[in-house]
Structure 1
Amino acid sequence: MKKKLGSSAFAGALLLTVIAAGCSAPNEPAAMKDATPDSPSAATNAAKDATKTIKLEMVENGWFNTPTDAGNPWQQWIKDTFNIELTMNAMPMADMETKLLVRFASTEQPDLIFSWDRNLIKKLHKQGVLLDDWTPYLSKLPNVTKTWNDQMKAFATVEDKLIALPKLADAFTWTLMLRKDWLDALQLSVPTTDAELLEVLRKFTHEDPDQNGKDDTWGISSAGSGSDVGEINVLESMYGQSGFHVGADGKMQHSIVNGTHLKFLKFMRTVVEEKLIDPDWYTQGWEQRKPKLFGGKVGTVHYPGVIVQESEKANGATGSAVDWWEAIQIPKGAEHGGKRPPAPIAGGMLAVSAQAAKDPEKMERILNFIDSTVYPTEGYWSIRWGVGVNGQKVIDLDDGAKFISLKDDPYRKDMMGLYDWGTWVATSQDRVLEGQSDSPGAADKKQLELDGKAMAMASYTNYHELLNLDPQITSDLKKLTQEFDIKFILGKETDYEAFKQKWLKAGGQQLMDEAARQLKDIGMLN
């Protein structure tokens, strides 16, 4: 994986009261003679043989999802440290649900499941194939729970049951990145309003910002993959918060209903009509867009600070692209606009199968393994970065940041699937920069600078990740919105009011009412 940077706190992001390490004793039932086999009291009282090897299988969403060989040092470290033979099956999100449903229909069920998709964990839990409630086990997970806040616990709770363990989210380092060298060449200031941004996009497109004498640049780009507007939807935040949220008036709102979405669509229509955007913005995927972006043809994009590293790599790592980018706050286009979208609440969910939980000895070993490898334990640095596993060393930088060199990594350079051994604990809040040199260079320092600026920017409160809304209605409304958005932007649709009423009747009003009820129940709506 290329450079990862995080922070232990988000300036301006919503992080609520941190749960004290080690939940209080009442969360764990007292040991009883008739304790059920899958209860923590049974696990506590069961005779343990620490010399016995426990076999576990984890199914997870990985970054690379490629197999490793028998020389996997992470697998050996886990066995040496915990006496666990861990089998890892890493797979993309698109494949996970189908494969898990097949596995849970068989007698060969996985023990641990990590997914970035909260809805998948909810679906599996509803089917009864996962541990019903983690709450009684929390006193055995002090390192895990001390990283939580109230939102994280609410995120993983369904009908008063903690259905999985939420993972600490990555540091929120995404924001608008502008070509600073283009601004300087055209003697432009950083835009702070939607009108100023529009003017910058015009000049980036039409006034030869790279001074090559060719008409070959665009003000902005996106990667819609032929299904939606892509990450350029961040510009809706110029006018207010997107989706379901509590408005300044304390009432339940949605951006489609209160006009925020319409303002964004009108802005996008202007951008497309004036041809200020990469012409492939709607059809291209994330990777397909990179040659133009890092080839110096695009002036604005929504990205984290790693854009510096990727730009440098694409340009021969000569230092020529180090000073291309500047991180800016979302410009303001309305009274309540001008903040970044909400920071994520969690970085995924870790669950255990109901079958594994019925084995007291296996469950006890699972709890120890999980709690001993979560950030910021010593085990985290081993399983995530290879400290004590493959010879990796951590270099301390200023302000708590760290640097790890992969220059002499004997394993992951040639076997990228080894990165998936740690996906379920990984968080860029560890503030690690990863590089190919012996020490951080100019690009690393620039990334630190840009990520630091992004983290200091104001963000909206995250409401939508706390909601448990009807998945079918949600999916139908998403499809309805995607179809209307592109037609409106391209000038093929003009009646926004008709779309809004259709959205409300298709389930939008029902979801707004349900969202209001749920947020009121957890004290986030009066």
Structure 2
Amino acid sequence: MTVMIYGCPGREEQTGTSGTSGAPNPPSADTGHPAEGASALSTVKLDMMENGWSNTPTDEADPWRKWIKDRFNIEMTMDAVPPGELEAKLLLRFSSSQPPDLIFSWDRNLIMKLHKQEVLLDDWTPYLSKLPHVMQTWNSQMRAHATVEGRIIGLPKLPEAFTWALMIRKDWLDALQLSPPATDTELLEVLRKFTYGDPDQNGKDDTWGISSAGSGSDVGELSILESMYGPSGFHIGPDGTVQHSVVNGTHLKFLAFMRTIVKEKLIDPDWYTQSWEQRKPKLFGGHIGIVHYPGAIVQEGERMNGATGRTVNWWDALQVPKGAEFGGRRPPAPIAGGLLAVSAQAAGDAEKMERILRFIDSTVYPTEGYWALRWGVGVNGQKVTDFGREAKFISLKEDPYRQEVKGANDWGTWVATSQDRVLESLRDSPGPADIKQLELDNKAMSMDSYTNYHELLHLDPQISSDLKKLTQEFDLKYILGEDSDYERFKQEWLQAGGRQLLEEASSQLRVRFHFDN
């Protein structure tokens, strides 16, 4: 799901921690000077394709591109692509024998698929000694996440602090004298009231209970609602067996709930087609009652409403309602925030690979280069100051370029981690919106989550991809009432490789967690 936790939304989400243990204070001095020996190096051209937040191009005045050139003698081009489009565009580039040099994806399965096709660097292990800063960010789970058959197929990014939660309009609850919903039935009643009860008291029929941003490919971030009924995807069930939500009925309960809210028109009518950015005018215009978002929703709302303070107290973080015995937790915190890979063609160029390694290791958190690439310190006039409460603060007033050219944020996608605890605002100094964001983030991080089993599995990437497409297609038809035969879909899912993946998952988890089933 496409989202940055502190400052700009991104999809992926997150660990359960938020501190900055061992991280130095961010630099405030100019970091635009060349890296040691960079001036003596020949210029190398690097082409990067990644999952971005804004997914829009920058222009010739882009100061980040200039900083990379000055610092590393690299002429960098970047193509930021929404998650649903990245695979098709990458396959086109590889088939035309013009692959990008660097690839960053939130979807590990995509990197696994490309690696299996032998178009990526086969194994990062021989290069790890040249990535000391990167290695300091890894833990054993991150390494296992990136290791397939003994080979490290990509560099796992630090996950975000797990600050995502269902955000609900607290002022609407108060206006309608409603309590926060604790069950799926209560949630349904709240959505009806939010849609048809004039919660903003403007006398107009212009509100919806809930929204999503499916970008024309899936249910978007509302997949979190499956957690009302139990864990999603592969997991170890309460009876000690490996299960999948498509097979054990959890997914069906979720689809039934989605069908109800679509049929009753309780959901924003553009929920499936709109992108994350396209949804924002309705969301911050005050027309949506519940959305899945991090605490940055406060800052973004203020930014789009003139920073008057009017929207600061709109939102509260909501625990996932309970719809079944083992439901009611948040999805698991991600082990990694995505994988960075290098094409085999780029890896075969010794000079280019040497420059790639230097660039990567010099811009990972919490290096000086991280603060430059992620936040613009020494690049675009940005300064990071201590806020207290283990947080740091950046004012966008010092960064006019990113305010006008949203695509500049995408330079930070592949290094970003909200473990840097940066809050971004239009204000000169921290204010009520910053305090509210911290409150929401801390509340979200305290919520109970499911265990992350899925990201420790290494399943056949092509089968996984095929099953994902099969599921996405059926989900939409079921939700829209065009297909009600879930049993037929389940059997098709099993025959299309689901049964094989269940066996693989059972075998791998049995070894890792030492259980019998």
Give yes or no for TM over 0.5. Answer: yes
Aligned partners of 2:17 and 2:419 also within 8 Å? no
Identical positions, percent: 69
Whether contact under 8 Å (2:282, 2:288) holds in the other structure is yes
Contact kept, 8 Å, 1:58 with 1:112, in 2: the verdict is yes
Give, as a single letter, the amino acid of the residue that structure 2 aligns with 1:59: M
Aligned partner of 2:7 in structure 1 is 3
Match of 1:169 in 2: 159
Secondary structure at the residue paired with 1:138? helix
**Which residue identity does 1:91 align to in structure 2?**
A
- Give per-residue Cα distances to partners, 1:364-389, cap 9 Å, x unaligned: 44333322221011221122222233
TM superposition shift of 1:144: 0.8
Once the two structures are superposed, residues 142-174 of structure 1 have per-residue CA deviations (whole angstroms, 9 ceiling, x without a partner) of 221121122221221121100121111222222
Matched, 1:267 2:257: yes
TM-superposition CA deviations, 1:331-376 (whole Å, max 9, x none)? 1122211111122222222223444445555544433332222101
Quick check: 1:327–1:454 contact (8 Å CA) kept in 2? Answer: yes
Partner residue, 2:245: 255
1:105-137 superposed Cα distances (whole Å, 9 cap, x missing partner): 788765433333433433433343432211132
> Hey, what does 1:341 align to over in structure 2?
331
- Show the counterpart of 1:514: 504
Q: Which among 173, 177, 199 is matched to residue 183 of structure 1?
A: 173
Q: Is the 8 A contact 1:239 1:336 kept in 2?
A: yes
Q: Return the alpha-carbon distance in structure 2 between the equivalents of residues 295 and 151 of structure 1.
A: 41
Structure 1 residues 433 and 95 mapped into 2: Cα distance closer, same or farther (>3 Å)?
Answer: same
2:439 aligned partner = 449
Q: Shift of residue 428 of structure 1?
A: 2.1
- Alignment-derived partner of residue 321 in structure 2: 331
Paired position in structure 1 for 2:44: 55
Distance 1:4 1:372 in 2: 23
Secondary structure in 1 matching 2:340: strand
Report the Cα distance in structure 2 between the residues aligned to 1:279 and 1:112, rounded to whole angstroms.
37
**Which range is displaced more, 281-290 or 430-439?**
281-290
Q: Is the 8 A contact 1:141 1:371 kept in 2?
A: yes
**Alignment CA distance shift 1:92-1:490 (3 Å):** closer
Q: Deviations over 1:183-223 (max 9, x none)?
A: 11222222222222223223323333222334443322333
Is 1:139 aligned with 2:143?
Answer: no
Read off the aligned partner of 2:427 and give its amino acid letter.
Answer: S
Work out the CA distance in 2 between the residues paired with 1:378 and 1:396. Answer: 16
Correspondence for 2:187 among 172, 197, 222: 197
Determine if the alignment matches structure 1 residue 209 to structure 2 residue 199.
yes
CA contact (8 A) 2:161 2:417 kept: yes
Q: Distance in 1 between matches of 2:123 and 2:40?
A: 29
Q: State the distance in 2 between where 1:353 and 1:480 align.
A: 29
2:233 counterpart letter in structure 1 = G
Q: C-alpha separation between the residues in 1 aligned to 2:57 and 2:216?
A: 27
Match of 2:57 in 1: 66
Letter in 2 for 1:511: L
Q: Distance in 2 between matches of 1:184 and 1:514?
A: 49
Alpha-carbon distance in structure 2 between the residues aligned to 1:338 and 1:513: 27
Highest CA radius of gyration, 1 or 2?
A: 1
The within-5 A match list for 1:17-416 is 51-61=40-50, 62=52, 63-69=54-60, 72-82=62-72, 84-93=73-82, 110-358=100-348, 360=350, 362-409=352-399, 411-416=401-406
Whether the 8 Å contact between 2:333 and 2:449 is mirrored in structure 1 is yes
CA 1:113/1:300 → structure 2, altered by over 3 Å: closer, same or farther?
closer
Which deviates the most, 195-204 or 406-415?
406-415
Alignment map for 1:449-488 (pairs within 5 Å)? 449-488=439-478
Distance 1:263 1:114, change over 3 A: closer
Partner SS for 1:321: coil
State whether residues 11 and 458 of structure 1, in contact with CA within 8 Å, keep that contact through their aligned partners in structure 2. Answer: no
1:376–1:175 Cα change, 3 Å: same
User: Do the aligned residues in 1 keep the contact of 2:217 with 2:472 (CA within 8 Å)?
Assistant: yes
Tell me the C-alpha RMSD between the 2 structures: 3.3
Distance 2:260 2:115 in 1: 46
Residues 283 and 72 from structure 1, CA distance in 2 versus in 1: closer, same or farther, beyond 3 angstroms?
A: closer
Secondary structure of 1:424 counterpart: coil
Tell me what 1:34 maps to.
none
* Contact persistence 1:339–1:457 (CA under 8 A): yes
Distance in 2 (alpha carbons) for counterparts of 1:475 and 1:434 = 36
Matched length: 491
1:314 Cα deviation (Å)?
A: 3.7
1:5 Cα deviation from its structure 2 partner: 9.2
TM-aligned CA distance change 1:209 to 1:141, over 3 Å: same
Partner of 1:36: none
Q: Distance in 1 between matches of 2:114 and 2:497?
A: 25
Select between 321-330 and 95-104 the one with higher mean Cα deviation: 95-104
Amino acid aligned to 1:296: G
Q: 1:64 to 1:225 in 2, by over 3 A?
A: closer
Q: Which secondary structure does the structure 1 equivalent of 2:424 belong to?
A: strand
Deviations 1:45-79 (A, max 9, x none): xxx9983335241313144442442x654444445
Q: Give the match's secondary structure for 2:492.
A: helix
The alignment partner of 1:477 has SS state of: helix
Letter in 2 for 1:439: S
Q: 1:175 to 1:362 in 2, by over 3 A?
A: same
SS in 2 for 1:433: strand
Name structure 1 gaps, 5 residues minimum.
19-47
Alpha-carbon distance in structure 2 between the residues aligned to 1:464 and 1:138: 25
Shift in Å, 1:472: 4.2
The one-letter amino acid of 1:268's match is M
The answer to whether the 8 A contact 1:222-1:282 is kept is yes
The answer to whether the 8 A contact 1:5-1:451 is kept is no
Give the Cα separation in 2 of the matches to 1:104 and 1:277: 39
Structure 2 counterpart of 1:89, one-letter code: M
Which deviates the most, 303-312 or 115-124? 115-124
C-alpha change, 1:416 and 1:187, in structure 2 (3 Å) is: closer
> Which segment drifts farther, 432-441 or 105-114?
105-114
1:373 alignment partner, SS class: coil
